[in-house]
Amino acid sequence: MTEPRTLRSKALRALLWLAAHGKCQRCGIALGDDWQAYHVVPWVVSKRTNVHEMQALCAVCNRTKGSTMYRKHQQEADDLFKKISAGSMIDRVFVSVTPGGGKSLLPVIAAHRLIPNFADAILWVVPRQSLQEQGERGFGEFRQLVGHRHEIRISTNQVNPTRGTSGYVTTYQAIQVDAGINADEVSRRRYILVLDEPHHIAEGSSLHRAIAPLVARAKLTIFMSGTWERHDGRPIAFVPYYATDGGYRLDLPNFSDEMEEVGYAALTYSRRDALREKAIKPLRFMPIDGETKFTDRDGETRFVPSIAESDQDVADAIYSALNTDYADQLLDKCVSDWRAYRTIKRHSKLLIVAANISSAKKYVKRVRALGVDRVEIATSDDTQSARDAIKRYKRRTDDASALDAIVTVAMAYEGLDVPAITHVACLTHIRSRPWIEQMATRAARVCKDAGPYEEQIGFIYGPDDRLLRDCFDAILREQEPFVKEQLERQMRASLDTDDGETPEVKTILPMSGAVTRERVIDLATGESLNFEETARITFALQQHGATGIMDPLTFKRIMDTLETNLRPVVEPPMATTPSEREQRLREGINSFTRRYEGSHGVEYGSLNKAIVRTFQKKRDDMTETELQQVWTWLQNNYSTAQ
pLDDT level of residue 390 (50, 70, 90 thresholds):
confident
Residue with the bigger pLDDT between 484 and 71: it is 71
Predicted confidence (pLDDT) at residue 52 exceeds the cutoff of 70: no
C-alpha torsion angle, residues 240, 244, 249, 254 (rounded to 10): -80
Model pLDDT, residue 486:
30
Is the pLDDT reported for residue 57 higher than 70? Answer: yes
HSE-CB at 150 with a 13 A cutoff on CA atoms is: 30
Residue 116: cis peptide before it, omega within 30 degrees of 0: yes
Sequence-distant (≥ 6) Cβ neighbours of residue 23 within 8 angstroms = 29, 30, 31, 56
CA distances 422 to 96, 161, 460, 559, Å, are 24, 38, 8, 21
252 vs 139, residue with greater confidence: 139
Range from 4-8, 51-55, 62-66, 488-492 carrying the lowest mean pLDDT:
488-492
Query: What does the DSSP 8-state code read for residue 550?
Result: B
**Cα dihedral 53/57/60/65 (nearest 10):** -20
Residue 334 has pLDDT above 90, yes or no: yes
pLDDT value at position 426?
92
**C-alpha pair distances (Å), 428 with each of 4, 425, 510:** 51, 9, 15
d(CA 312, CA 332): 27
Q: Sign of dihedral through CA atoms 332, 334, 335, 337?
A: positive
Tell me how far apart the alpha carbons of residues 432 and 127 are, in angstroms, rounded to a whole number: 19
Residue 4's pLDDT is 37
Judge contact between 294 and 485, C-beta under 8 A.
no
Q: pLDDT tens for residues 303-315?
A: 888 888 887 778 8
d(CA 77, CA 107): 10
Q: DSSP 3-state helix, strand, coil percentages of the chain (rounded to 5)? A: 40, 20, 40
Those residues whose C-beta lies under 8 Å from the C-beta of residue 574, and which sit 6 or more positions away, are 137, 141
List CB contacts of 298: < 8 A, sequence separation 6 or more: 506
Cβ-in-10-Å burial (0-12, 13-18, 19+) of 34 comes to: exposed
Per-residue pLDDT tens over the stretch 511-545: 667 777 677 776 666 667 777 677 767 766 766 66
Q: Please, are residues 393 and 406 in contact by the beta-carbon 8 Å criterion?
A: yes
pLDDT greater than 70 at residue 223: yes
Task: Measure Cα distances from 480 to 197, 199, 430, 515 in Å.
Answer: 17, 16, 21, 35
Whether 85 contacts 220, CB under 8 Å: no
The secondary structure of residue 160, as a DSSP letter, is S
Angle in degrees, 0-180, between the axes of helices 129-141 and 384-394, rounded to the nearest 10: 40
Q: Which domains does the chain have, with CATH numbers?
A: 10-64 (no CATH), 72-275 (3.40.50.10810), 281-558 (3.40.50.300), 578-641 (no CATH)
267, containing H or E segment? strand 264-269
Instruction: Return the higher-pLDDT residue of 359 and 452.
Output: 359
What is residue 81's predicted lDDT score, i.e. its pLDDT? 94
pTM: 0.71
The dihedral region occupied by 151, where left means phi > 0, alpha psi between -120 and 50, and beta the remainder, is: beta
Bridge-based pairing of strands 54-57 and 36-39 is antiparallel
DSSP assignment of 383-394, as one string?
-HHHHHHHHHHH
Closest CA to 161 of 190, 134, 200, 121: 121
| Confidence class for position 147, pLDDT limits 50, 70, 90 | confident
Burial of 617 per CB tally in 10 Å (0-12, 13-18, 19+): middle
